[in-house]
C-alpha cells in the first residue's frame, strides 16, 4: 500500500505519516432515539460459538445524492469544489434464501422478508479502498441476518483517490460522518416509503436496530458520528448529525479517537466493541486504547488481536484473526441489536486461542495498558 506523507494540514498532524486502509435533515423521517439496553456478557442462549450462516447474501447498489454538501478537489491549493453535491453510491448486502454451496453473493436476489425488518449495520470503509475490500466480513454479517449498508466515500474510495492524481485526500474523513448519517436516513426513508430507485429496501430494515461500524479511517468517521460534540465542515454539530438515529451499537475496527474534537459519553450508551491488534503499525493500538478509555460506560468490549496486521483480520487474509473477529462481532451485534442472549460470554469467544486474540470488558488487561509503543508507519497490509 502506498504511503501519504504529512500534508502540513494541522489536522493531519494527528495522523502523522500514515495512509490507513480505511480508518477509515437531510432526508427522510426522523426515527426516535432509543436507549440501548446494555449487552450482558453473562446471559444464556442457544447460539453456537461459531456462527453458522442462516442466509445467502443478496447484493445490490443504490445511489443517494446529498445536494446540501459538496466534494472538494484536493489537487488545488487552496482546495476547490469538485462537485456541489455528494453522490453516495451505496452497496447493500441483505439476507436472501440460503443456497447450499452457492456463490458468496447473489446480485439482485430477492430478500427473505421478515416482519419489522432486519437490523442494519452501516459500514464505513477505510482510505483508498472500497466496501468490496471487506466483502468476506460484510457477507458474514449479512448471512447472519443483518442488512449491511456501505457507501463509497467521495474523495476517499479507491477510484476517487486515483482520480485525484496522487493528491492527499485523506482529510475528507471529516465529511464522512455526514455521509453516514445521510445514507442512514435515506435507507430508512426508502424502507418506510419504497422508491423505484432502490426497491430492495421496501420494508427491509428495522429502524430501531441500527449499528455503526467502520475500519481505519472509516472507524474514525464512525467514532466521530457516535461521540463527537464539535462541528463538521458545514458547521453542524456532530451530535446534531446523529440526532434521531437509533444506533444501538458501535463497532470500531482499528480506528482512533479524533483528538481535534471534544468527545463525551452518549446518554443512550450504545454498546461498544473495539477490535485492534498489538502488532498494527499502520494505526498503533494506543489510538484505540485512548478511544476506549474515553468512553465511560459499562457495556463496552475490547478484542485485542495479538499478531495481526492492519487489514488482514477484516478482509479475511489472516484466517485465524478473521475467524476470531467473526466469532465476536456477530454475537455482539445479535445481542446489541436483537436482544439475543449469549451462551458464551464475548470475553470467552474472543479468548479461545490466546495466541490469536483476547477479549476484555470494562477494564483492559496489562497487555493493552502497557501496549508496545510502535512507530506509526504503513506498509503492505
Residue 93 sits in a domain whose CATH number is 3.40.50.1820
Domain that holds residue 30: 21-369
E-state strands within the chain: 56-66, 71-73, 80-83, 86-96, 106-107, 118-124, 147-151, 205-215, 247-253, 271-277, 300-305, 357-361
Report pLDDT for 23: 32
Q: Is residue 357 part of a domain?
A: yes
Report pLDDT for 51: 66
Q: Is residue 377 part of a domain?
A: no
Q: Is residue 6 part of a domain?
A: no
Q: Is residue 14 part of a domain?
A: no
How far apart CA 273 and CA 248 sit, in angstroms, is: 11
- For the chain, the domain total comes to 1
Report pLDDT for 363: 94
By CB atoms closer than 10 A (0-12, 13-18, 19+), residue 78 is exposed
Report pLDDT for 99: 93
Contact between 88 and 110 (Cβ < 8 Å): no
The angle formed by the CA atoms of residues 271, 174 and 159, to the nearest 5 degrees, is 105
Report pLDDT for 379: 61
Report pLDDT for 376: 81
- Give the 3-state secondary structure of residue 143: helix
Q: Is residue 161 part of a domain?
A: yes
Q: Is residue 254 part of a domain?
A: yes
Report pLDDT for 17: 33
Q: Is residue 286 part of a domain?
A: yes
Q: State which residues of the chain have pLDDT below 50.
A: 1-49, 381
From the list 96, 146, 138, the residue with the least C-alpha distance to 118 is: 146
Report pLDDT for 78: 84
From the list 181, 264, 266, the residue with the least C-alpha distance to 225 is: 181
How far apart CA 115 and CA 208 sit, in angstroms, is: 13
Tens-digit pLDDT profile for residues 197-225: 999 999 999 999 999 999 999 999 999 99
Report pLDDT for 7: 29
Q: Is residue 250 part of a domain?
A: yes
Report pLDDT for 254: 97
Amino acid at each position: 500500500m502506498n504511503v501519504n506523507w504529512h500534508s502540513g494540514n494541522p489536522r493531519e498532524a494527528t495522523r502523522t505519516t500514515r495512509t490507513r486502509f480505511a480508518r477509515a435533515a437531510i432526508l427522510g423521517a426522523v426515527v426516535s432515539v432509543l436507549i440501548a439496553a446494555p449487552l450482558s456478557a453473562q446471559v444464556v442462549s442457544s447460539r453456537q460459538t461459531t456462527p453458522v450462516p442462516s442466509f445467502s447474501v443478496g447484493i445490490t447498489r443504490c445511489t443517494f445524492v446529498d445536494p446540501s454538501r459538496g466534494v472538494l478537489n484536493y489537487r488545488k491549493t487552496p482546495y476547490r469544489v469538485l462537485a456541489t453535491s455528494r453522490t453516495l453510491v451505496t452497496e447493500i448486502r441483505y439476507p436472501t434464501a440460503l443456497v447450499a454451496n452457492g456463490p458468496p453473493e447473489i446480485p439482485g436476489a430477492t430478500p427473505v422478508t421478515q416482519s419489522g425488518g432486519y437490523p442494519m449495520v452501516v459500514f464505513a470503509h477505510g482510505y483508498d479502498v472500497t466496501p468490496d475490500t471487506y466483502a468476506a466480513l460484510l457477507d458474514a454479517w449479512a448471512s447472519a441476518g443483518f442488512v449491511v449498508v456501505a457507501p463509497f466515500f467521495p474523495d476517499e474510495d479507491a477510484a476517487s483517490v486515483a482520480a485525484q492524481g496522487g493528491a492527499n485526500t485523506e482529510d475528507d474523513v471529516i465529511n464522512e460522518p455526514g455521509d453516514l448519517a445521510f445514507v442512514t436516513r435515506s435507507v430508512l426513508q426508502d424502507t418506510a416509503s419504497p422508491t423505484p430507485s432502490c426497491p430492495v429496501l421496501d420494508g427491509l430494515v428495522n429502524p430501531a436496530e441500527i449499528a455503526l461500524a467502520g475500519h481505519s479511517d472509516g472507524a474514525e468517521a464512525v467514532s466521530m458520528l457516535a461521540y463527537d460534540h464539535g462541528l463538521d465542515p458545514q458547521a453542524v454539530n456532530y451530535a446534531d448529525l446523529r440526532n434521531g438515529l437509533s444506533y444501538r451499537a458501535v463497532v470500531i475496527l482499528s480506528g482512533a479517537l479524533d483528538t481535534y474534537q471534544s468527545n463525551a459519553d452518549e446518554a443512550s450508551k450504545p454498546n461498544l466493541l473495539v477490535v485492534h491488534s498489538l502488532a498494527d503499525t499502520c494505526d498503533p493500538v494506543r489510538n484505540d486504547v485512548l478511544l476506549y478509555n474515553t468512553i465511560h460506560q459499562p457495556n463496552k468490549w475490547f478484542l485485542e488481536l495479538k499478531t495481526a496486521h492492519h487489514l488482514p483480520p477484516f478482509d479475511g487474509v489472516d484466517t485465524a484473526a478473521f475467524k476470531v473477529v467473526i466469532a465476536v462481532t456477530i454475537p455482539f451485534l445479535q445481542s446489541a441489536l436483537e436482544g439475543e442472549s449469549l451462551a458464551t460470554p464475548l470475553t470467552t469467544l474472543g479468548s479461545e486461542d490466546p495466541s490469536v486474540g483476547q477479549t476484555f470488558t470494562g477494564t483492559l488487561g496489562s497487555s493493552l495498558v502497557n501496549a508496545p509503543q510502535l512507530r506509526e508507519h504503513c506498509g503492505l497490509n
